[in-house]
Each structure stands twice: as structure tokens, then as C-alpha cells.
């Protein structure tokens, strides 16, 4: 297995993109909570990340509402289910941990949903920032609550004021 990484500038600070055998497996903020240790990032390379850069630039410009990238996040079966649910939350909308737990069939799973959400290795692309508390308040975020608010505001603005072609 070949693991590479690069750094991509963004409005929320530098993002470290990690690929395994050319497939995106991680996207981490600076000072990312629970991020990988530097030795787990693989070799630094500018090659192989052009599509990730392009789609992120379109997202931050308010021109992209979803990502079309091959992804390979590493996690257990429950985490994979939660991360799949996150990808189905529409751009510009939010869900609570409890709503996601109910969708899984057991409202008592809200804390487990929160734990899986917190371990999402593909920030922004797998939109864990769209998950909020039951009262709509912002809860923990691996990139910090300021970044979470920025991403939610970016999406709300893009929905309200779509970019004209």
C-alpha cells in the first residue's frame, strides 16, 4: 500500500489530504482533534490530488454542493454506516445526533453516532459539520467550532444566494 499526502490551502486554514493507493482516505484540519500522527501521513507529494483541490475550491466558492471523489475512509462497520448517513445530509441542511440515531433505528445510539461523527477522517467532504445538537446548537468539531460555523454559514449563503453562471 502506498500512502501519500499533500497540503491544500483553504479559507479554513491548510487542509492535509491523505491518499492510499491514490484514493482519498483522509482530509484533516490544522490542529485536528484525533488526527493522524505525522508518520501515518505517508510521503509528501503534490501529485495525485488535483481533483481533490479542484472540488474543494469549487465548494469553498459556493459552486459545489457535494463531492464526487473515490473515498477510502478507515473505520469499523458502525462508523462506516454513520459516515454514509452524513454524506446523505443535503448541502445547507443539518441533522441532530438523535435524528441520525433514529434513522439507525435506536434513539439511544445518539452518543455512539457522536463518537463516529468525531472520528470522521474526511472533514468537509464527509460533512460531519452538518450534525448539531438537538436544540440546533453547535457541538464539538474536530476542526473547532469556528470552522464548523464557517462551513455552515458558507452553505447557508450558497443556498440563499446561488452563484450565477
**Alpha-carbon gap, residue 99 to 21, rounded angstroms:** 35
Where does the chain hold its CATH 3.30.160 domain(s)? 3-60
pTM of the predicted model as reported, rounded to 2 decimal places? 0.91
**Alpha-carbon gap, residue 3 to 22, rounded angstroms:** 8
Confidence class of residue 135 from pLDDT cuts 50, 70 and 90? confident
**Alpha-carbon gap, residue 106 to 128, rounded angstroms:** 20
3-class SS of residue 88:
coil
Cα-flanking dihedrals φ and ψ of residue 4, to 5°? Answer: -130, 165
Given a cut of 90, is residue 134 above it in pLDDT? no
128 carries an active-site annotation: yes
Q: Which CATH number fits domain 3-60: 3.40.1350, 3.30.160, 3.30.70, 3.40.1130?
A: 3.30.160
pLDDT digits over 138-159, tens only?
Answer: 887 777 899 999 999 999 988 8
Q: Catalytic one among 82, 100, 125, 128?
A: 128
Which DSSP helix (H) or strand (E) runs through 4? strand 3-8
Fold of 77-160: Arc Repressor Mutant, subunit A (1.10.10)
Amino acid at each position: 500500500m502506498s500512502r501519500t499526502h499533500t497540503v491544500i490551502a483553504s479559507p479554513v486554514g491548510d487542509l492535509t489530504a491523505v491518499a492510499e493507493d491514490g484514493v482519498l482516505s483522509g482530509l484533516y484540519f490544522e490542529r485536528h482533534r484525533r488526527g493522524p500522527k505525522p508518520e501515518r501521513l505517508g510521503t509528501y507529494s503534490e501529485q495525485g490530488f488535483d481533483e481533490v483541490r479542484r472540488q474543494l475550491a469549487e465548494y469553498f466558492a459556493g459552486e459545489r454542493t457535494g463531492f464526487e471523489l473515490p473515498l477510502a475512509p478507515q473505520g469499523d462497520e458502525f462508523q462506516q454506516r454513520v459516515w454514509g448517513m452524513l454524506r446523505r445530509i443535503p448541502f445547507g441542511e443539518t441533522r441532530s445526533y438523535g435524528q441520525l440515531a433514529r434513522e439507525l433505528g435506536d434513539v439511544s445510539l445518539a452518543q455512539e453516532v457522536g463518537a463516529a461523527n468525531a472520528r470522521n477522517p474526511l472533514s468537509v467532504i464527509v460533512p460531519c459539520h452538518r450534525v448539531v445538537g438537538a436544540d440546533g446548537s453547535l457541538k464539538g468539531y474536530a476542526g473547532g467550532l469556528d470552522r464548523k460555523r464557517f462551513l455552515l454559514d458558507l452553505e447557508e449563503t450558497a443556498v440563499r444566494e446561488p452563484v450565477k453562471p
